[in-house]
Structure 1
Amino acid sequence: MDSSTISFSSSSPPSPPPPQAARADLDAVSLDRLSRSLDRLLDPTFLNCADAEIVLSAGGGDTGGAIVGVHRCILAARSSFFYNHFSSLPAHANAGEKPQLKLGELVPGGSHIGRDALVAVLGYLYTGRLPPPEAAICLDDVCTHQACRPAIDFVVESTYAASGFQISELVSLFQRRLSDFVMIALAEDILPIILVASTCVLTDLLNQCIRRVATSNLDNHYLEKGLPDDIYAKVKEVCWPDESLSSILDPEHEKRVRNIHKALDSDDVDLVDMLLKESPVTLDDAFAVHYAAAYCEPKVLAELLKRDSANVNLKNCSGYTPLHMACMRREPDIIVSLIEKGASVLETTLDGRDALTICKRLTREKDCNGKLEKGKERSKAYLCIDILQQEIKRKLFILEYQISAEESIATPLLVDNFHMRLINLENRVAFARIFFPAEAKLVMRIAQADSTEEFAGLTSANSSKRKEVDLNETPTMQNKRLRERLDALTKTVELGRRYFPHCSEVLDKFLNEESTDLVFLESGTPEDQQVKRMRFSELREDVRKAFTKDKAASTAISSSTSSSSSLRYDGKVRQGYRKGKLSR
């Protein structure tokens, strides 16, 4: 029997590993334990033993103004940048006072760094490891999260931090990741990569971005607004290497369009009217609504839309409608203004994205799914998504009933269901107008129900409610009229539920229990009428109490919103509001 067989069948314990291997395993375990221990120092729930603080800038994502506690000894020992910085700090007068470092002033591009990216890079200095990028997941369930905007923003912000803190190995790692993004990301999402490549002097990455953007179908105004002048000039050189090619454009037309855009930049819509009268250029020719939705204040777009001379669903050369541009900016007021003017939430871009998808792929999952802190208002991204989701539900609801109405010509059962739905809505709105006429009138005007004809039913008992009968009205015309009334009443009820939830609950309960026709008060014996009138008086009192609750809640929300808005807009620099608005 050979030695190998003896060795295999022996019952003696295995020979110990070489001393070098055991030592290496022990070192690995010790280093891992040390890293895990140091990682706790950046946990805000851990002991508050930090001796310095880094203050994030207001522009650092949704966490602007947040404070991250740090430990000077660890950072100084691990980084020459922090060693030189901390050693040059003056001694504080108060022994317990912690020195604060403003991130926007500490490193180039520091105003763009959010808390998650800062903690990740500091965690590398503490532990030698990078944590998983939990912040790099968008809200779209269909997205693979390989190159959506949150994933790009996280690496971009981390690059600013790694470059500013002079961590060369991390800069190289992040540069490779950004280079991968450039090949697969949407063209408009490459602009933040261009900015970080320019700031951190990543020449190869910058050239790669310029080539990709120059060969895309991005709108020139988008590039001009989102890029520094020198970078935009380089993009134009790649687009038009021969100056003679640019002469194909109509210079006079371009001059007139640019004047309209300058007037919008100055918030002067009256000047826009004058420019339109003096030239053949229209709002659609200048893509003025697109421009206002992307760069101007909400009140400017609202004034522009009052002209009713622009197509709110017009697509620009990139295949974007004004609503798509507003979603890229994530400004709720602008989205609402466009929807009220008929902007379609179902329109898609050239690559198949609708308005909701655009918003979701720009929004981090943690920003909308996280627990809302007490006293903190919802983010603009959350409000935009909520507005779009509600509008999509309304559109799908209307389409469903439009299909039913089309089929109702040939199907008597669907006719009855459709008309019953209308009668129920008419009676519900009629009750609301009895209990709070001023508010109901306002809601009906917003829903444009006051411009549609009341449905009185098809029975002879109700036919007297109609002012006149159009004998020339065809079934198709009748269906269209009834659908318009149904849509308006449906929107009226939806708005009522939103602004008067307590009143809506009372009406729901009443209409489910009692007859939904107003004439029920006058039917039956005198005793029956007396009982019904008593029930109606009880309902009036219940609605009055519910209305008081709704008004109190509305007043609280309005005062909270007003105070937060005044703080948010106080001191805002107009040029900074427009320049680069879509680059973040």
Structure 2
Amino acid sequence: MESSTVTFSSSSSPPPSPSPSPSPSRPQAAPADLDAVSLGRLSGNLERLLDPSFFNCTDADVVLAAGGDDAVVGVHRCILAARSNFFLAHFSSLAAAPAGEKPRLELAKLVPGGCHIGRDAIVPVLGYLYTGLLKPPPQGAAVCVDDQCSHQACRPAIDFVVESTYAASGFKIPELVSLFQRRLSDFVNRALVVVEDIVPIVLVASTCQLTDLLSQCIQRVAHSSVDSRYLEKELSDETFAKVMELRQYLSPRESDEFILGPEHAKKVRNVHKALDCDDVDLANLLLEESGITLDGALAIHHAAAYCEPKVLAQILKLKSASDSANVNLKNGSGYTPLHMACMRREPQIILSLTEKGASVQERTRDGRDALTICKRLTREKDCNSKLEKGKERSKAYLCIDILEQEIKRTSFVLERQLSDEVSVAMPLLADNFHTRLLTLENRVAFARIFFPSEAKLVMRIAQADSTQEFAGLSSANFSKLKDVNLNETPIMQSNRLRERLDALMKTVELGRKYFPHCSDVLDKFLIEESTDLFFLESGTAEDQHTRRMRFSELKDEVNKAFNKDKAAIGSSSTSSSSSPRADGKVRHGNKKARLSR
């Protein structure tokens, strides 16, 4: 994979070792060369102070807004105060910390735009204050997971420079601000840069008052065909007004207001506001009264981009949706709802759309499909976290995995596949309803133990988490499984259990469809009858002990099988799911936007 072109002066190479004592035949080094060697050695030594593995002698903490394991960066007040008037003034005004505690600087409150800065960006900027040299971005921090990308101007590369600009501007380092501004200007001028990726540059230019860069961005965005509704959500009111004024002046016939008419646009905005308030019933009422269809209001696009997953699910269930809604409809920018969901990287929405027939093959005007969009927005560090059993996966990983599995299955008939897979996965008696339900409960229960992220996602889509569990699943008294509530009629009980059975079958179907490796591991695990939760609690104490010993052995075998699956995933999708690079996470946001940066 090519490395990012976001490069700066680096102190990564070790300083040259001092020359041996001069001999009569060897000329002495010039004083300037000796100064360079000394400065290089001093810079390298100071750089070690920011390495978390080095001896911790920090006396203050910078707290990042992102949270997580890397939310705190230890710093040395004396060095920063000596090198920066900003930190000198700030540390001088700090109240004394309680005994045994370090002063904590919350970055979100310390500098404008601080909530957007991640660890990978702030450490090089702080390193510049320590050493006088600016190192290149950490491995994987400015590179996307798409092998076909040149990484010259993909979103991770842009995001890294944007975050660095926020930090340099906030810490009052003019030489770095000038350097980063030139780099951002180069991004804006590149013809291959997706216009939506310029929005973070607009935000940092506005926040840091980089007027020339902001003017350049406004010109580029105004000349593009990006949907005005997207810009209204993403940009500040002042910047959006400038873009729309310039856009209408440059090409009035291409204005959304001109095509739709102001009255139609007003009705559409009212529908979107209702969706933003999670009021699907009101949105449906507004659609019926105005005579606008779901497609005409681009309601599915809006919900996929900005609303909660449950709102999109409700829209897709509307009675009118089956008559007029097209999940593959393209908006004015050439994006389908699935494209919008991939820009947001929300796995539950992606899964809901693909279940309703959203095509993963549809492409944007510049030739990107859903998987490409998702990959080029995702840093290697965000996607390539370690695949450990029982650990939560990143949303980026789940999104890419879902899309890759959907691509593999576009040529199959889902109904026939479900029938074949269920018959292999569940060798049950067709007329034994309770046994079948018990087996499904066991399978899903073990899925939640071994693969919590995947199980949680598919259960939510199948709505299994909203149905009542089969009572007495792990009880030693099997007869309790068939107990009837005195307030519940046999018909009510049958309907309740049937609803639960359907939800669990749907859960298994989705798991096999989008997470086949995890399902294969469960298949191997469930072959042994001793994995039945009820079976483990029956028999004598000695029998139970023997079975539980075997159960522990099976868990070890599953762990080995899981590692094989992990290797198989890596061989089929090296760039998206199993690169050896380190993991991390940076997200950007805007108070008016809900799309991921």
Same fold (TM over 0.5): yes
What is the aligned-residue identity percentage? 63
- What is the aligned partner in structure 1 of residue 147 from structure 2? 141
CA contact (8 A) 1:224 1:232 kept: yes
Equivalent residue number for residue 229 of structure 1: 237
Shift of 1:287: 0.6
Is the contact made by 2:511 and 2:519 (CA closer than 8 Å) also made in structure 1?
Answer: no
Tell me whether 1:360 sits opposite 2:364 in the alignment.
no
Describe the superposition over 1:221-253 as per-residue Cα deviations: whole angstroms up to 9, x where unpaired: 110000010010110111113898767341221
How much does 1:374 deviate?
A: 9.1
Aligned residues: 452
Residue type of the partner of 1:48? N
Quote the Cα distance in structure 1 between the aligned partners of 2:123 and 2:429: 56
Q: What amino acid maps onto 1:67 in structure 2? A: V
Deviation at 1:353, TM superposition (A): 0.8
Residue deviations 1:37-68 (CA, integer Å, cap 9, x gap): 1111111111110000100013xxx7587000
In the alignment, what sits opposite 2:504? none
Cα displacement (A) at 1:91: 2.3
Deviation at 1:22, TM superposition (A): 1.3
Q: Which digits, 9 at most, give the CA deviation of each residue in 1:68-113, with x for residues without a partner? A: 000011111111111111112122341x321110101111111110
Matches within 5 A, 1:452-491: none
Larger helix proportion, structure 1 or 2? 1
In the alignment, which residue of structure 1 is the partner of 2:210?
Answer: 202
Work out the CA distance in 2 between the residues paired with 1:297 and 1:268: 11
- Report the counterpart of residue 581 of structure 1 in structure 2: 594
Distance in 2 between residues matched to 1:391 and 1:243, nearest whole Å: 40
Q: Residues 326-475 of structure 1 correspond to what in structure 2 (within 5 A)?
A: 326-371=341-386, 377-395=392-410, 398=412, 428=424, 431-432=427-428, 437-438=436-437
C-alpha spacing 1:498/1:305, structure 2 compared with 1 (3 Å): farther
Q: Match for residue 195 of structure 2?
A: 187
Letter of the 1:271 partner, please give it.
L
Query: Which digits, 9 at most, give the CA deviation of each residue in 1:250-286, with x for residues without a partner?
Result: 1221121111111111111111221122122111011
The aligned amino acid for 1:175 is Q
Partner residue in 2 for 1:253:
264
Match of 2:159 among 153, 158, 164: 153
Partner of 1:262 in structure 2? Answer: 273
**Counterpart contact for 2:61–2:102, Cα < 8 Å:** yes
Residues 423 and 371 of structure 1: is their aligned pair in 2 closer, same or farther, counting only changes over 3 Å? Answer: closer
> Letter of the aligned partner of 1:207 in structure 2?
S
Contact 1:226 1:583 in 2 (8 A): no
- Contact conserved, 1:56 with 1:64, CA < 8 A, in 2? no
Q: Structure 1 140/14 Cα, relative in aligned 2: closer, same or farther at 3 Å?
A: farther
Is 1:79 the counterpart of 2:65 in the alignment?
no
Q: Which amino acid aligns with 1:125?
A: L
Alpha carbons of structure 1 residues 276 and 441: separation in structure 2 relative to 1, 3 Å: farther
Q: 1:426 to 1:187 in 2, by over 3 A?
A: closer
Query: Quick one: distance in 2 between partners of 1:502 and 1:583?
Result: 32
Contact 1:92 1:99 in 2 (8 A): yes
Conserved in 1, the CA contact under 8 Å of 2:425 and 2:523?
no
| TM-score in terms of structure 2 length | 0.68
Could you report, residue by residue, the CA deviation over 1:363-390 in whole angstroms, capped at 9, with x for unpaired residues? 1101222436898622211211111112
The Cα shift of 1:428 comes to 2.5
CA distance in 2, matches of 1:50, 1:374: 35
Question: Residue 524 of structure 2: which of 505, 515, 524 is its match?
Answer: 505
Report the CA distance between 1:501 and its aligned residue.
4.4
C-alpha separation in 2, matches of 1:128 and 1:380 = 37
For the residues of structure 2 that align with 1:296 and 1:424, how far apart are their CA atoms? 36
Counterpart contact for 1:276–1:282, Cα < 8 Å: yes
Q: Secondary structure at the match of 2:172?
A: coil
Counterparts of 1:80 and 1:106, CA distance in 2: 14
Match of 1:271 among 282, 290, 300: 282
What's the counterpart of residue 457 of structure 1? Answer: none
Does the C-alpha gap of structure 1 residues 71 and 104 become closer, same or farther in structure 2, counting only changes over 3 Å?
same
| Greater shift in the superposed pair: 499-508 or 32-41 | 499-508
Change (3 A) 1:437 1:38: same
CA distances 1:497-547 after superposition (whole Å, capped 9, x unpaired): 66754552278899xxxxxxxxxxxxxxxxxxxxxxxxxxxxxxx9xx99x
Aligned counterpart in structure 2 of residue 283 of structure 1, from 291, 294, 299: 294
Distance in 1, matches of 2:143 and 2:48, equals 23
* Cα 1:214/1:260, change in 2 over 3 Å: same
With over 3 angstroms needed to count, the CA separation of the structure-2 counterparts of 1:251 and 1:431, relative to structure 1, is same
- Is the CA contact (8 Å cut-off) linking 2:275 and 2:311 kept in structure 1? yes
- Provide the rounded CA distance (Å) in 1 between the counterparts of 2:398 and 2:419: 34
User: Which residue in 2 is equivalent to 1:556?
Assistant: none
Q: Secondary structure, in 3 states, of the residue corresponding to 1:304? A: helix
Tell me the secondary structure at the aligned position of residue 122 of structure 1.
helix
2:288 partner letter: K
**Structure 1 gaps, min length 5:** 1-12, 403-418, 449-488, 511-541, 554-575
Partners of 1:433 and 1:441 within 8 A in 2: no
2:103 maps to 99
The structure showing larger relative contact order (alpha-carbon pairs under 8 Å, at least 6 residues apart) is 2
2:409 alignment partner, SS class: helix
**Structure 2 SS opposite 1:69:** strand
Structure 2: distance between partners of 1:78 and 1:290: 49
CA offset at residue 582 of structure 1? 2.4
Q: CA, structure 1 residues 493+137, in 2 after alignment: closer, same or farther (shift >3 Å)?
A: closer
Q: Compared with structure 1, are the counterparts of its residues 270 and 494 closer, same or farther at alpha carbon in structure 2 (3 Å cutoff)?
A: closer
Corresponding residue number in structure 2 for 1:459: none
- Rounded to whole Å, the distance in 2 between the matches of 1:496 and 1:237 is 48
- Per-residue CA distance 1:461-503 (angstroms, 9 max, x = gap): xxxxxxxxxxxxxxxxxxxxxxxxxxxx997965796675455
SS in structure 2 opposite 1:431? coil
RMSD over aligned CA atoms reads 3.8
Deviation string for 1:395-437 (max 9, x for gaps)?
25x29x99xxxxxxxxxxxxxxxx9x99976852672465952
**Residues 439-482 of structure 1 deviation map (CA, whole Å, 9 limit, x = unaligned):** 78899x9999xxxxxxxxxxxxxxxxxxxxxxxxxxxxxxxxxx
Task: Summarize the Cα distance change of 1:395–1:92 in structure 2 as closer, same or farther, 3 Å threshold.
Answer: same
- SS state at 1:145 partner: coil
**What is the distance in 2 between the residues matched to 1:507 and 1:363?**
35
Partner Cα distance (1:359, 1:324) in 2: 8
Q: Partner residue of 1:481?
A: none
* SS of match in other structure, 2:209: coil
SS in 2 for 1:29: helix
Q: Which has the larger radius of gyration?
A: 1
Asked if the contact 1:52–1:71 (Cα under 8 Å) also holds between the matched residues in 2, the reply is yes
| 1:191 and 1:583 in contact (8 A); partners too | no
Aligned to 2:470: none
Instruction: For 2:65 and 2:102, locate their aligned partners in 1 and report how far apart those are by CA, in whole Å.
Output: 18
